[in-house]
Amino acid sequence: MRMSMASNHKTAQEPPAVPGKLASWWRRIDWIWLALVGGSVLTAWLGEHPQTEGLGQMVIGAVLILSAAKGLLIALSYMELLHAPAIWRNLVVGWLALVLGAIAAISLWP
């Protein structure tokens, strides 16, 4: 009886089944993972695609910016540094900025 009442209540209150399932899947998608996959595929494409060969320094800059974006996503979201004490967040984000900045300077300096 209680189950039946619960079932009736559920039918009356919840949205239709298919949009509900879609919304559930939408919430479950790991957007950070998707962004990392997309950024990595774009990085490889920039490195491999013949059309980008003549662009030289612009490609290097774009690849390093993508690397910084992916690193930030990992540090702030997966490592949960966004909500961690500022000292740890600053150390890891500072490391990323210094290393990528130094690689850019060494690689792009005329």
Partner 1 sequence: MVWLLVLAELLTFALLFLSFAFARRWQPDLFAQGQATLDIGHGLANTLALVAASACAAAAVRSHRAGASRAWHWWMGALLSALAFLGMKSLEFAERFNQGFDWAESSFNMLYFMLTGFHYLHVVVGALVFVAMILSARRGRFGPSSIRSPESAAVFWHMVDLLWMVLFPLVYIIR
Supply the Cα-derived Rg of the chain in whole angstroms: 23
**Residue 37 in contact with partner 1, rule: CB under 8 A:** yes
- Determine the Cα–Cα distance for residues 105 and 46; give it in Å rounded to an integer: 20
For the packed helices 31-48 and 57-73, what is the interaxial angle rounded to 10 degrees? Answer: 160
Give 6's Cβ-side CA count (13 Å radius): 3
| Token pair 């792009």 in the structure block, residue | 108
**Residue 103 in contact with partner 1, rule: CB under 8 A:** yes
CB of 26 vs partner 1, minimal distance in Å: 16
- Whichever of 22 and 41 has its CB closer to partner 1, that residue is 41
- Whichever of 1 and 106 has its CB closer to partner 1, that residue is 106
Instruction: Choose which of 14, 19, 47, 90 interacts with partner 1 (CB under 8 A).
Output: 47
Cα 55 to the center of its chain, rounded Å: 26
- Whichever of 15 and 48 has its CB closer to partner 1, that residue is 48
Q: Give the x-and-dash track for 59-98 against partner 1 (CB under 8 A).
A: -x--xx-xx--xx--xx-xxxx-------x--xx--xx-x
